[in-house]
Amino acid sequence: MKHLIIYSHPNSKSFCHAILDKVEEVLAAKKHDIVVRDLYALGFDPVLKAGDLADFQSGKIPADIKAEQNYIAWSDIMTIIHPVWWTGLPAMMKGYIDRVFSYGFAYSLDASGIVKLLTGKKVIVFNTQGTPQDIYEKSGMFVAMKKTSDTGIHEFCGINVLAHQFFGAVPYVDDAARKSYLEKVKQIMDQY
């Protein structure tokens, strides 16, 4: 299976990176073809520019965007790993979505409405956050974030969300909790 990992965190010692390592370990053991796109290491530019929009309208796709679209087209399953900042996607990840999941690649319109151009693709999402799990559960924030990410982005483009896992209070939990989080990552990845 062809597995694309889209990873976004500026700190290579973050718990998100530990998740990345665990995902790679599980997929390698299963002999999957793996490509990792570390957005910070790549120096990916998350800013959607007027020139990008003009290029999209004229059918020319900027090279950096086309490269990412080619990886998505190649993949069977994507795993997206990023922190939650201010109850949402960090700027780098949001900019990746803005630029790469563009009209004509991820979706289009016809007389019947939205055409989901990434139908058949699958995604697993892992998120970390500093806020304790129970606070986001009680406030409905997890439901809201899943609605935005899973429904508003992935399902909108036809991508089947296989799992979306949040890990709370990451900077404050002990090593035993972090190990249990990584075991959960393994359990999820072992299914695919």
**Structure tokens of 134?**
């129970």
Closest CA to 167 of 137, 107, 124, 126: 126
| Residue 98 CB coordination number (10 Å) | 15
Domains of the chain (ranges plus CATH)?
2-190 (3.40.50.360)
What pLDDT is stored for residue 57 in this prediction? 85
Instruction: Flag whether pLDDT at 31 surpasses 90.
Output: yes
List the beta bridge partners of residue 2: 33
**Structure tokens of 27?**
């997929």
Measured CA to CA, the distance from residue 172 to residue 192 in angstroms comes to: 30
Measured CA to CA, the distance from residue 38 to residue 80 in angstroms comes to: 10
The gap from C-alpha 156 to its chain's centroid, in whole angstroms, comes to 14
Confidence of residue 58 (pLDDT cuts 50, 70, 90): confident
What pLDDT is stored for residue 56 in this prediction? 86
169 by Cβ neighbours in 10 Å (0-12 / 13-18 / 19+) ranks as: middle
Closest CA to 157 of 121, 116, 96: 116
Instruction: Flag whether pLDDT at 131 surpasses 90.
Output: yes
